[in-house]
Protein backbone atom coordinates (compact mmCIF):
# COMPACT_ATOMS: atom_id res chain seq x y z
CA UNK A 1 0.00 0.00 0.00
CA UNK A 2 1.25 3.53 -0.71
CA UNK A 3 2.00 5.97 2.07
CA UNK A 4 -1.11 8.16 2.43
CA UNK A 5 -0.89 11.79 3.58
CA UNK A 6 -3.29 14.69 3.86
CA UNK A 7 -1.97 18.16 3.04
CA UNK A 8 -3.81 21.43 2.38
CA UNK A 9 -7.04 19.54 1.76
CA UNK A 10 -5.45 17.20 -0.80
CA UNK A 11 -4.78 13.47 -0.59
CA UNK A 12 -1.17 12.56 -1.39
CA UNK A 13 0.03 9.05 -2.18
CA UNK A 14 3.73 8.22 -2.28
CA UNK A 15 6.26 5.43 -1.66
CA UNK A 16 5.89 3.69 1.74
CA UNK A 17 8.63 2.49 4.12
CA UNK A 18 11.19 0.99 4.02
CA UNK A 19 11.77 3.57 1.27
CA UNK A 20 13.17 6.73 2.90
CA UNK A 21 12.01 9.25 0.31
CA UNK A 22 8.29 8.94 0.98
CA UNK A 23 8.80 9.10 4.74
CA UNK A 24 10.92 12.25 4.41
CA UNK A 25 8.32 13.82 2.16
CA UNK A 26 5.65 13.04 4.75
CA UNK A 27 7.66 14.65 7.53
CA UNK A 28 8.34 17.75 5.42
CA UNK A 29 4.65 18.22 4.64
CA UNK A 30 3.73 17.58 8.28
CA UNK A 31 6.25 20.25 9.30
CA UNK A 32 4.71 22.70 6.82
CA UNK A 33 1.31 22.08 8.40
CA UNK A 34 2.69 22.65 11.90
CA UNK A 35 4.18 26.06 11.06
CA UNK A 36 2.19 29.28 10.65
CA UNK A 37 1.02 29.83 7.06
CA UNK A 38 3.80 30.76 4.62
CA UNK A 39 4.34 34.45 3.83
CA UNK A 40 2.00 35.86 1.17
CA UNK A 41 4.91 36.79 -1.13
CA UNK A 42 6.63 33.79 -2.69
CA UNK A 43 10.46 33.79 -2.68
CA UNK A 44 10.77 36.74 -0.31
CA UNK A 45 13.43 36.71 2.40
CA UNK A 46 10.72 35.75 4.89
CA UNK A 47 9.67 32.88 2.65
CA UNK A 48 13.27 31.60 2.52
CA UNK A 49 13.42 31.63 6.32
CA UNK A 50 10.06 29.84 6.49
CA UNK A 51 11.43 27.09 4.22
CA UNK A 52 14.53 26.86 6.39
CA UNK A 53 12.32 26.18 9.40
CA UNK A 54 10.71 23.35 7.44
CA UNK A 55 14.03 21.80 6.41
CA UNK A 56 16.05 22.31 9.58
CA UNK A 57 16.16 19.18 11.69
CA UNK A 58 14.67 16.93 9.02
CA UNK A 59 17.47 16.75 6.42
CA UNK A 60 19.75 14.85 8.79
CA UNK A 61 17.17 12.11 9.32
CA UNK A 62 17.91 10.63 5.88
CA UNK A 63 21.15 9.26 7.38
CA UNK A 64 19.25 7.54 10.21
CA UNK A 65 16.44 5.39 8.79
CA UNK A 66 15.41 4.07 12.18
CA UNK A 67 14.88 7.62 13.49
CA UNK A 68 13.04 8.52 10.31
CA UNK A 69 10.48 5.75 10.73
CA UNK A 70 10.04 6.62 14.40
CA UNK A 71 9.49 10.30 13.57
CA UNK A 72 6.98 9.46 10.86
CA UNK A 73 4.95 7.26 13.20
CA UNK A 74 5.14 9.91 15.91
CA UNK A 75 3.54 12.39 13.50
CA UNK A 76 0.97 9.87 12.25
CA UNK A 77 1.86 9.69 9.33
CA UNK A 78 19.29 10.09 -4.49
CA UNK A 79 23.14 9.56 -9.67
CA UNK A 80 21.58 8.62 -12.91
CA UNK A 81 17.96 8.90 -11.98
CA UNK A 82 15.05 9.76 -14.23
CA UNK A 83 11.33 10.21 -13.72
CA UNK A 84 8.25 10.30 -15.91
CA UNK A 85 4.62 11.08 -15.17
CA UNK A 86 1.68 10.22 -17.43
CA UNK A 87 -2.00 11.21 -17.18
CA UNK A 88 -4.70 10.03 -19.62
CA UNK A 89 -8.22 11.20 -20.46
CA UNK A 90 -9.72 8.61 -18.10
CA UNK A 91 -7.90 10.12 -15.14
CA UNK A 92 -5.47 7.22 -14.85
CA UNK A 93 -1.95 8.28 -13.89
CA UNK A 94 1.54 6.82 -13.67
CA UNK A 95 4.35 8.29 -11.61
CA UNK A 96 7.57 6.29 -12.07
CA UNK A 97 11.13 6.97 -10.97
CA UNK A 98 14.02 4.75 -12.06
CA UNK A 99 17.78 4.79 -11.68
CA UNK A 100 20.85 2.90 -12.84
CA UNK A 101 22.95 4.27 -10.02
CA UNK A 102 26.49 3.44 -11.12
CA UNK A 103 25.13 0.61 -13.28
CA UNK A 104 25.57 -3.05 -12.40
CA UNK A 105 26.34 -4.37 -15.89
CA UNK A 106 23.55 -6.93 -15.47
CA UNK A 107 20.44 -6.72 -17.67
CA UNK A 108 17.10 -8.42 -17.21
CA UNK A 109 16.88 -11.17 -19.85
CA UNK A 110 14.89 -10.13 -22.90
CA UNK A 111 14.84 -6.45 -21.94
CA UNK A 112 17.09 -3.40 -22.09
CA UNK A 113 16.64 -2.82 -18.38
CA UNK A 114 19.89 -2.67 -16.44
CA UNK A 115 19.75 -3.57 -12.76
CA UNK A 116 20.58 -0.76 -10.40
CA UNK A 117 23.76 -0.38 -8.38
CA UNK A 118 23.25 1.82 -5.32
CA UNK A 119 26.42 0.83 -3.49
CA UNK A 120 28.06 4.22 -4.06
CA UNK A 121 25.28 6.39 -2.65
CA UNK A 122 26.19 7.82 0.77
CA UNK A 123 22.59 8.84 1.44
CA UNK A 124 21.61 5.17 1.39
CA UNK A 125 24.50 3.98 3.56
CA UNK A 126 24.28 6.07 6.76
CA UNK A 127 27.18 4.20 8.41
CA UNK A 128 29.51 4.90 5.47
CA UNK A 129 30.47 3.26 2.19
CA UNK A 130 31.26 -0.48 2.19
CA UNK A 131 28.94 -1.04 5.18
CA UNK A 132 26.09 -2.76 3.34
CA UNK A 133 25.22 -6.15 4.79
CA UNK A 134 24.74 -8.83 2.09
CA UNK A 135 21.19 -10.08 1.59
CA UNK A 136 19.73 -6.98 3.23
CA UNK A 137 17.52 -4.51 1.41
CA UNK A 138 18.87 -1.08 0.51
CA UNK A 139 16.45 1.76 0.97
CA UNK A 140 15.86 4.47 -1.64
CA UNK A 141 15.17 8.18 -1.92
CA UNK A 142 13.00 7.80 -5.03
CA UNK A 143 9.60 9.32 -4.27
CA UNK A 144 7.01 9.04 -7.07
CA UNK A 145 3.91 10.86 -5.88
CA UNK A 146 0.22 11.26 -6.78
CA UNK A 147 -1.99 14.11 -5.56
CA UNK A 148 -5.78 13.83 -5.46
CA UNK A 149 -8.46 16.43 -4.83
CA UNK A 150 -10.33 14.69 -2.05
CA UNK A 151 -10.52 10.94 -2.17
CA UNK A 152 -10.76 10.31 -5.91
CA UNK A 153 -10.27 13.13 -8.45
CA UNK A 154 -6.65 13.14 -9.58
CA UNK A 155 -4.98 16.54 -9.33
CA UNK A 156 -1.38 15.78 -10.38
CA UNK A 157 1.40 13.21 -10.64
CA UNK A 158 5.02 14.10 -10.04
CA UNK A 159 8.45 12.80 -9.13
CA UNK A 160 12.09 13.76 -9.34
CA UNK A 161 15.70 12.83 -9.84
CA UNK A 162 18.24 14.34 -7.47
CA UNK A 163 19.83 11.72 -5.21
CA UNK A 164 19.31 12.45 -1.51
CA UNK A 165 17.56 15.72 -2.32
CA UNK A 166 14.60 14.10 -4.11
CA UNK A 167 11.96 14.35 -1.32
CA UNK A 168 13.03 17.92 -0.55
CA UNK A 169 12.53 18.93 -4.20
CA UNK A 170 9.10 17.30 -4.35
CA UNK A 171 7.99 18.82 -1.05
CA UNK A 172 8.87 22.31 -2.30
CA UNK A 173 7.09 21.83 -5.64
CA UNK A 174 3.99 20.67 -3.74
CA UNK A 175 4.34 23.72 -1.50
CA UNK A 176 4.58 26.13 -4.46
CA UNK A 177 1.74 24.34 -6.26
CA UNK A 178 -0.73 24.22 -3.36
CA UNK A 179 0.19 27.31 -1.32
CA UNK A 180 0.87 29.63 -4.28
CA UNK A 181 -1.57 28.38 -6.97
CA UNK A 182 -0.59 29.13 -10.56
CA UNK A 183 0.78 27.43 -13.67
CA UNK A 184 2.30 24.01 -13.00
CA UNK A 185 5.45 25.02 -14.88
CA UNK A 186 5.94 27.92 -12.48
CA UNK A 187 5.79 25.60 -9.46
CA UNK A 188 8.21 23.08 -11.03
CA UNK A 189 10.80 25.66 -12.09
CA UNK A 190 10.57 28.01 -9.10
CA UNK A 191 13.78 28.59 -7.14
CA UNK A 192 14.39 25.99 -4.41
CA UNK A 193 16.34 25.64 -1.20
CA UNK A 194 18.26 22.88 0.53
CA UNK A 195 19.69 22.53 4.03
CA UNK A 196 22.45 20.04 4.84
CA UNK A 197 25.20 19.88 7.46
CA UNK A 198 24.70 23.45 8.64
CA UNK A 199 24.61 24.99 5.14
CA UNK A 200 21.44 26.70 3.88
CA UNK A 201 21.55 26.81 0.08
CA UNK A 202 19.41 29.05 -2.12
CA UNK A 203 18.92 29.07 -5.85
CA UNK A 204 18.74 32.50 -7.52
CA UNK A 205 15.21 33.87 -7.43
CA UNK A 206 14.82 34.64 -3.74
CA UNK A 207 14.95 38.18 -2.42
CA UNK A 208 18.11 39.22 -0.59
CA UNK A 209 18.51 37.34 2.69
CA UNK A 210 20.97 39.00 5.12
CA UNK A 211 23.24 36.34 6.59
CA UNK A 212 22.87 37.86 10.04
CA UNK A 213 19.28 36.65 10.08
CA UNK A 214 20.53 33.06 10.25
CA UNK A 215 21.82 31.35 13.41
CA UNK A 216 25.54 32.11 13.92
CA UNK A 217 26.47 28.45 13.41
CA UNK A 218 24.77 28.31 10.00
CA UNK A 219 26.34 29.13 6.63
CA UNK A 220 24.40 30.75 3.77
CA UNK A 221 25.31 29.65 0.24
CA UNK A 222 23.62 31.44 -2.68
CA UNK A 223 23.98 29.80 -6.08
CA UNK A 224 24.57 31.94 -9.17
CA UNK A 225 22.27 29.83 -11.36
CA UNK A 226 19.70 27.08 -11.02
CA UNK A 227 21.22 23.62 -10.86
CA UNK A 228 20.27 19.96 -11.22
CA UNK A 229 21.72 19.69 -7.70
CA UNK A 230 18.29 20.85 -6.50
CA UNK A 231 16.46 18.02 -8.25
CA UNK A 232 14.67 17.49 -11.54
CA UNK A 233 10.91 17.37 -11.01
CA UNK A 234 8.62 16.33 -13.87
CA UNK A 235 4.88 16.67 -13.36
CA UNK A 236 1.52 16.39 -15.07
CA UNK A 237 -1.89 17.42 -13.85
CA UNK A 238 -5.45 18.42 -14.60
CA UNK A 239 -6.86 21.90 -14.11
CA UNK A 240 -10.29 22.76 -12.71
CA UNK A 241 -11.72 23.16 -16.22
CA UNK A 242 -10.62 19.62 -17.10
CA UNK A 243 -7.73 20.67 -19.34
CA UNK A 244 -4.33 19.07 -18.95
CA UNK A 245 -1.04 20.55 -17.90
CA UNK A 246 2.52 19.22 -18.01
CA UNK A 247 5.78 20.67 -16.75
CA UNK A 248 9.39 19.59 -17.14
CA UNK A 249 12.25 20.74 -14.95
CA UNK A 250 14.64 22.98 -16.89
CA UNK A 251 17.42 22.02 -14.49
CA UNK A 252 17.62 18.53 -15.99
CA UNK A 253 16.61 19.05 -19.63
CA UNK A 254 13.17 17.58 -19.00
CA UNK A 255 10.50 17.39 -21.69
CA UNK A 256 6.73 17.82 -21.33
CA UNK A 257 3.96 17.14 -23.84
CA UNK A 258 0.18 17.48 -23.91
CA UNK A 259 -1.51 15.55 -26.73
CA UNK A 260 -5.11 16.36 -27.66
CA UNK A 261 -5.32 13.13 -29.67
CA UNK A 262 -4.33 10.99 -26.71
CA UNK A 263 -6.26 13.17 -24.32
CA UNK A 264 -3.20 13.58 -22.10
Question: What is the rounded CA–CA span in Å between residue 103 and residue 117?
Answer: 5
Give the confidence band of 149 by pLDDT, cuts at 50, 70, 90.
confident
Q: Would the pLDDT of 40 be above 90?
A: yes
Q: Would the pLDDT of 263 be above 50?
A: no
Write the pLDDT tens digit of every residue in 183-209: 999 999 999 999 988 999 999 999 999
What's the pLDDT score for residue 158?
Answer: 96
CATH class of the 3-192+228-252 domain in this structure: alpha beta
The residue ranges of every structural domain in the chain are 3-192+228-252
Contacts of 76 (CB under 8 A, 6+ apart): none
Q: Is 82 a catalytic residue?
A: no
Question: Would you call 114 helix, strand, or coil by DSSP?
Answer: strand
What's the pLDDT score for residue 192?
Answer: 98
Give this prediction's pTM. Answer: 0.82
User: Which sign, positive or negative, has the C-alpha torsion 179, 180, 184, 187?
Assistant: negative
Catalytic residue among 81, 97, 143, 193: 81
Amino acid sequence: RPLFLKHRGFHIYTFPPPNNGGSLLGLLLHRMNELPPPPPQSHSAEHALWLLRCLNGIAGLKHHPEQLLHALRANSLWGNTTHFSILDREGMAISLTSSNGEGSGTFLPGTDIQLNNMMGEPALLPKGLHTWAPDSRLTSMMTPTLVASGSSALHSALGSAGAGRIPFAIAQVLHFMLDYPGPLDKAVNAARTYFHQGIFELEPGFDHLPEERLPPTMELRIWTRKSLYFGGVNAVGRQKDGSYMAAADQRREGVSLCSSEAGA
